[in-house]
């Protein structure tokens, strides 16, 4: 059980970036010949790259993310020497010509490239694979003290979209990956507050996996680190448009700006703090309105989240006679949206949720009731939680580990609000 404070500060080189008060914008600057959307546009032209960085800053970017190696599916690995030749002159020029009032990220999985970029003025390492592709990255990040983005990828860029892409639960898999990589990094001297997580939309996932990650993005808030999301112009959005609108061909990257903003809106509402985008001006205008509706002055009560996980109870539940012969185990996970600020100041149980009492009430409900449908049980638990005056919204996730002999487990997740 943990109450989540959803505001973070990134510190480096006497600069501070607040993530959570408003959405942080990371502008993409690819200095590659072959990136999926803008490959070649700023390749081998430092002056043009600097001009684009300046334009994105004027449009509202907080971070300029400079990358020299395309990580699109099937891309060929780049040597360290080649990547240094592409990236370092741009990092150096952007910092020298545009000043030190903004953050520069270097998008690389190579420790040597990250170390040199940091020496030339970069502030953040944006690291695909979460320091698995070059373990020496932990040393670089630890010694420098810089923020590091760890993002999930299945396999490598060459293999991530090949074969059958299967996860038992993609959110659980990615969550476990982050938990393990943060632990691994901390053991090697990286401080927890240096970490930023990115679920890696499009990196070894199907369309359905990408959508599920966005829908359940809020579950990553339990890790208590900032969440970065990158959906800008990505292929799964084109696939959705093609299928849903019955188009003859998939829309090109530049035709996916509006879909990118739509998915970005859902991601921000579900907990994203930082948005990585090619289209800074449109994204800045878009997120400004979202942030306006989210800020404390507009919301009646800013909401925090209390998680109560892995409650195990037993009850008679099921439609078939074989399911109703004896009690079955059910696993219950709750996410309670509350305002914990008063409790944090008063340190009084009356101003918060009595976890023990709620736990006992839920167990009593489950173990002394009978249901045919898991949906009815979830609804009853949600109503019980909302009887607490502190709870504004509740998400209930139930799993029947032994639902059917042939299908294994089944699960349901519902969200209910007071007054709904």
For the chain, the C-alpha Rg in angstroms (whole number) is 23
Instruction: Measure CA 330 to chain center.
Output: 28
DSSP state at residue 324: G
Give the number of C-alpha atoms closer than 13 A to the C-alpha of residue 162, restricted to the C-beta side. 9
Residue 200 and residue 231 in contact, taking contact as beta carbons nearer than 8 Å: no
Q: CA 183, 185, 188, 191: dihedral to nearest 10 degrees?
A: -90
Residue 25, judged by CB atoms within 10 A of its CB (0-12, 13-18, 19+), counts as buried
Q: Which of 326, 331, 332, 316 has the alpha carbon at shortest distance from 401?
A: 331
Supply the residues annotated as catalytic.
234, 276
**Listed residue (307, 92, 149) closest to 218, CA to CA:** 307
Contacts (Cβ under 8 Å, ≥6 apart) of 118: 106, 125, 140, 144, 146
Handedness of CA 25, 203, 199, 416 (dihedral sign): positive
Side-chain-side CA neighbours of 84 within 13 Å: the count stands at: 13
Q: Largest Cα–Cα distance in the chain? A: 75
DSSP secondary structure, 71-102, as one string: -STTPPP--HHHHHHHHHHHHHHHHHHH-SSS
Q: Give φ, ψ of 328 to 5 degrees.
A: -110, 150
* H/E segment holding residue 19: strand 15-19
* Helix axes of 280-294 and 46-59: crossing angle, nearest 10 degrees: 30
**3-state DSSP helix/strand/coil percent for the chain, to nearest 5?**
40, 25, 35
SS (H, E, C) 140-204: HHHHHCCCEEEECCCCCCCCCCCCCCCCCCHHHHHHHHHHHHHHHHHHCCCCHHHEEEECCCCCC
What Cα–Cα distance (Å) separates residue 413 from each residue in 55, 321, 407?
43, 25, 18
């Amino acid at each position: 059980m943990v109450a989540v404070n959803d505001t973070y500060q990134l510190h480096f080189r006497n600069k501070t970036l607040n993530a959570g008060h408003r959405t942080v914008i990371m502008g993409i600057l690819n200095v590659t010949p072959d990136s999926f959307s803008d490959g070649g546009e700023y390749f081998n032209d430092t002056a043009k790259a600097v001009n684009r960085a300046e334009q994105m800053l004027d449009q509202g970017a907080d971070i300029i993310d400079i990358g020299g190696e395309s990580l699109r599916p099937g891309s060929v690995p780049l040597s360290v020497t080649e990547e240094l030749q592409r990236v370092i002159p741009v990092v150096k020029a952007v910092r020298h010509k545009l000043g030190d009032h903004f953050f520069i990220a270097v998008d690389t999985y190579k420790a040597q490239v990250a170390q040199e970029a940091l020496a030339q003025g970069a502030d953040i390492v944006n690291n695909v694979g979460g320091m698995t592709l070059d373990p020496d990255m932990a040393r670089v990040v630890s010694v420098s003290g810089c923020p590091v983005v760890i993002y999930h990828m299945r396999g490598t860029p060459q293999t991530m979209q090949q074969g059958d892409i299967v996860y038992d639960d993609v959110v659980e898999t990615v969550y476990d990956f982050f938990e393990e990589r943060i632990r691994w990094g901390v053991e090697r001297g990286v401080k927890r507050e240096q970490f930023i997580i990115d679920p890696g939309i499009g990196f070894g996932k199907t369309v359905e996996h990408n959508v599920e990650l966005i829908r359940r993005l809020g579950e990553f808030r339990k890790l208590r680190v900032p969440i970065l999301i990158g959906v800008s112009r990505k292929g799964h959005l084109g696939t959705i448009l093609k299928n849903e609108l019955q188009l003859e061909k998939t829309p090109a990257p530049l035709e996916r700006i509006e879909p990118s903003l739509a998915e970005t809106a859902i991601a921000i509402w579900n907990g994203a703090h930082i948005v990585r985008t090619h289209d800074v001006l449109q994204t800045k205008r878009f997120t400004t309105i979202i942030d306006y509706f989210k800020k404390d002055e507009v919301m009646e009560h800013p909401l925090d989240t209390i998680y109560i996980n892995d409650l195990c109870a037993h009850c008679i539940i099921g439609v078939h006679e074989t399911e109703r012969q004896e009690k079955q185990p059910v696993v219950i996970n709750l996410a309670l949206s509350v305002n914990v600020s008063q409790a944090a100041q008063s340190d009084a149980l009356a101003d918060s949720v009595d976890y023990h009492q709620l736990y006992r009430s839920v167990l009593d409900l489950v173990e002394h009731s009978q249901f045919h449908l898991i949906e009815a049980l979830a609804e009853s638990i949600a109503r019980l939680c909302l009887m607490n005056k502190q709870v504004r919204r509740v998400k209930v996730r139930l799993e029947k580990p032994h639902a059917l002999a042939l299908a294994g487990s089944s699960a349901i997740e519902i969200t209910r609000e007071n007054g709904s």
